[in-house]
Structure 1
């Protein structure tokens, strides 16, 4: 399917589109190098460059979740920049996502988007928000509510702040303690992000292990 001319240059914003438009766009260069979202008849392709702050904080949040799961003996699986599709309805590509708990089935490790009708939505979806921060709190939050993730976190790169939501019954409410990872306080994640501004990973992970233990 040819890429619609009207969509060719409209990136980093929501544009009206069909599901087929979305799929065709994400299979077309250079957009296949970006991150794609689809919901409620609109698509968004993000091509903005990701700077050091985004990359570093993505790594730190991922480590906090993984270490918390390890310390608490919670089963989890991490997917970085993975595509999740509810075919024909919505699609997303969070910076990082986790399946958490005893019952999830690991999706196959191929190049196809993860089918949430088969494997379920990720338990936790995380967006690292630089220039996209306001959109992460707005339209993307609605997308993740409709996708029925259990938790959705938005990291404000500029402020080392985490805005976390519990999702249920088609809506969300802000939380300061995770339900997906019991007893993990959002303030601990923010402290880790703050420390990451000056500490290397060895020092940071040492502090995290003590804090989580």
Structure 2
């Protein structure tokens, strides 16, 4: 039997709740700034403090992917902290998401979640984890398996390690080289993260451009 999500919910943990309860919480100003996830009658609101390490890693990886796509002439559209909603089924709000390739349509510019009944899910999603790392590798990974994401990266901001998964037919397996960004080695992205701890963005960009070219 499904229990009812309380009016004041515990954040940063998964609780049982209906889709209607989830949407009401997502529209509640008390949780403004939170990240919202829903899958198979479980919901989660994340209200994590965002420190410098999380923000810097987010910026560097977004930059790496954009530079790589630019040099390799790959069509791409990136979104930061965007919500993706399949009504009555699931919702997710990854730290980074990318539409990649020649086939995608641009999602609309508005303040509503991207409707996955009208648009395909992004090809690549990325989560940055410190305290949330186990969940990123666990329930969220299953959520993205079921959502039809092609590739999922989990970044451990404490160690600068990246665990990357390729997803096909609802199953995921680890990879060492991106498939949606062909021939981009995950180890190179990890190296860039480590270099960014002592180098400025311009130095990282120049180094990457030499490698990508």
Secondary structure, counterpart of 2:173 in structure 1: strand
Give the TM-score normalised by the residue count of structure 2: 0.96
Partner of 1:70: 70
CA distance in 2, matches of 1:212, 1:155: 22
Secondary structure, counterpart of 2:146 in structure 1: helix
Does residue 156 in structure 1 map to residue 156 in structure 2?
Answer: yes
Partner of 1:95: 95
Deviating beyond 2 angstroms after TM superposition, the runs of 4 or more aligned structure 1 residues are none
C-alpha contact 1:25 1:32 (8 A) present in aligned 2? no
CA distance in 2, matches of 1:7, 1:60: 38
Partner of 1:180: 180
Partner deviation per Cα, 1:34-67 (whole Å, 9 max, x = no partner): 0000001000100121111000001111011111
Unaligned regions of 5+ residues in structure 2, if any?
none
Does residue 50 in structure 1 map to residue 53 in structure 2?
Answer: no
Unaligned regions of 5+ residues in structure 1, if any?
none
Partner of 1:137: 137
Structure 1 segment 1-213 matched on structure 2, within 5 A:
6-213=6-213
CA distance in 1, matches of 2:19, 2:58: 29
Give the TM-score normalised by the residue count of structure 1: 0.96
Deviation of the 1:30 alpha carbon: 2.1
CA distance in 1, matches of 2:5, 2:22: 13
CA distance in 2, matches of 1:30, 1:105: 33
Partner deviation per Cα, 1:20-42 (whole Å, 9 max, x = no partner): 11111011022121000000100
Secondary structure, counterpart of 2:180 in structure 1: coil
C-alpha contact 1:7 1:15 (8 A) present in aligned 2? no
